[in-house]
Amino acid sequence: MPELPEVETFKVYFDTVALQQSILKVEVHDDKILRNCSGESFADRLKGQFFQQSFRHGKYLFGKLQNGHAVLFHFGMTGDFVFYTDASEKPRYERFVFRFPTGSLAFDCPRKFARILYLEDIDDFIQKQQLGPDALLISENEFFEALAGKTMSLKGFLLNQKALAGVGNLYADEICYQARVHPASPVDKISRQKLKTIFDKMKAILQKAVQLKPYYKSYPDDWFWQWRKEGVSGPNGKGKVVKTKIAARTTYYCAQWQKKYS
């Protein structure tokens, strides 16, 4: 699930249930997703602290602690927050849980692709990671700067977190569809005007998704989302939906509708 809009939704959830709350205890059931410390030291360092603020950058969420350090949450493919007050509500794949006076915030993650890091400095991490500008905040100028000199496919570009942080596989397909560009088009072959359309669509899609809270059923009917199935007849007779692999990811598009630049 977690692309930028989903992570933004997690942030709102996290802020509601976790900020300014004393961390009474952290219980770690599986420390595989803790990438730079053991479960024991993670629990030790957090005990007695509280989260003061949170920040999102792309698909990363940072919980800033009162001591200036931070916990980084990256949700991988299946990470999720679940807050509960009754033990019976404990999620099935709770990898660790924060105990607060008001209840428990679990990190639920069936596949363990999520990564949780204890950071002493958030900016250091972003720099080391070479994360590009957040896709929701990036300006048009920065967008064109990120494109400069690149020859990769449009899809590869949108997914490249070092160029642009936050867009994942589903939203990348949605952007290509709405901008009417074939996802395999090399970015240097796409007209400047079309790139501007791509930028505008990206913004509109992400903003709308954040506003709706990612909950698939509530997305607009004219979005591509529901047609990500091979061979079906695309929206409003836009031709068959093609499934292929671009930038190493499963990609769906409407060949008739989306122009291939080359």
List interacting residues with DNA (CB under 7 A). Answer: 1-3, 6, 32, 58-59, 74, 76-77, 93, 110-113, 129, 149-153, 156, 159, 161, 168-170, 186, 243, 245-250
Q: Is the dihedral of CA 76, 167, 223, 81 positive or negative?
A: positive
Quick one: which H or E segment has residue 23? Answer: none
Residue closer to DNA (CB basis): 2 or 23? 2
6 vs 2: CA distance, rounded Å: 5
Residue closer to DNA (CB basis): 168 or 234? 168
Q: Name 107's bridge partners.
A: 81, 96
Residue closer to DNA (CB basis): 23 or 184? 184
Q: What is the CA radius of gyration of the chain?
A: 20
Least distance in Å: CB of 73 to DNA?
12
Least distance in Å: CB of 238 to DNA?
20
Alpha helices in the chain (DSSP H): 4-18, 39-46, 122-129, 140-147, 154-159, 169-179, 192-212
Residue closer to DNA (CB basis): 23 or 116? 116
Backbone torsions φ then ψ of 248, nearest 5 degrees: 65, 10
